[in-house]
A = this chain, B = another copy of it.
Amino acid sequence: MKTPERTETPEKTTPVGTRERIVRATSRLLQRQGYEGTGIKQISREAEATLGSVYHFFPGGKQELAAEAIRHGDEEFAVLLRAGLGSSADIGEAVVTCTGMLARELRASDWQDGCPISSTALETVGRAPAIEQAVAAAFANWRAIVTEHLVAAGIGAEDARELAGTVVSTLEGAELAAQIARSEEPLLVTGKHLARLLATYR
């Protein structure tokens, strides 16, 4: 028995280990406050872990922890992307669904929860190799997911590759614009334009 037995509501919340609590808290804080704006003490507080535990699991300190949190955000956004893009056989409609989902989540968080990694990505350009690598991997992952769906929709491989980059970039930019304007409009309009662009292929 490695975990304390909790007979009531065992399926509600799977007990999550300290390490994962730290990673999740870090991911959320980086999303909202960026890398420099987030302190390790705040992370340990929010994760309900002690400072000693944080350095126990991440001896590399803040950078190592941030890189792991970026990978967490990577997968989080990938899940949303796959859900949205798989929602319709029409790829244009699917992209519009994506922007709608992003807009809904953004409004629900009072425009706080944008892209989980963009702020940290911008802050660490050319200054934190471990983080930069995780960021680059995330973008590559998202592009690959979009490429796959574009190819499945009948777009040629090379066109699909290029378009996927534009789709991901444009979602990033639109999410930033929506946060700044505190409005869903930039995301929704951009979804419409992306669908229109995709419709010109084939």
Contact = CB atoms under 8 A, between A and B. Distances in A.
A52 interface: no
A122 interface: yes
A180 interface: yes
Given A166-B189, A186-B165, A189-B165, A180 B125 contact: yes
A155 interface: no
Contact of A166 (B165, B176, B190): B190
Interface in A107-136: 110-112, 114, 118-119, 121-123, 125-126, 132, 135-136
Interface string A19-44: 00000000000001111110000000
Interface string A181-202: 1000110011011001100100
Nearest to A163: B193
Contacts of A111: 125-126
B119 A180 contact: no
Nearest to A33: B123
Contact of A132 (B36, B126, B165, B180): B180
A101 interface: no
Contacts of A86: none
A136 B177 CA distance: 9
A162 B122 CA distance: 26
B180 A174 contact: no
A112 B139 contact: no
20 contacts: A32-B125, A35-B36, A110-B126, A111-B126, A114-B122, A118-B176, A121-B176, A122-B179, A125-B179, A136-B180, A165-B177, A165-B185, A165-B189, A166-B189, A166-B190, A168-B173, A169-B173, A169-B174, A170-B170, A172-B173
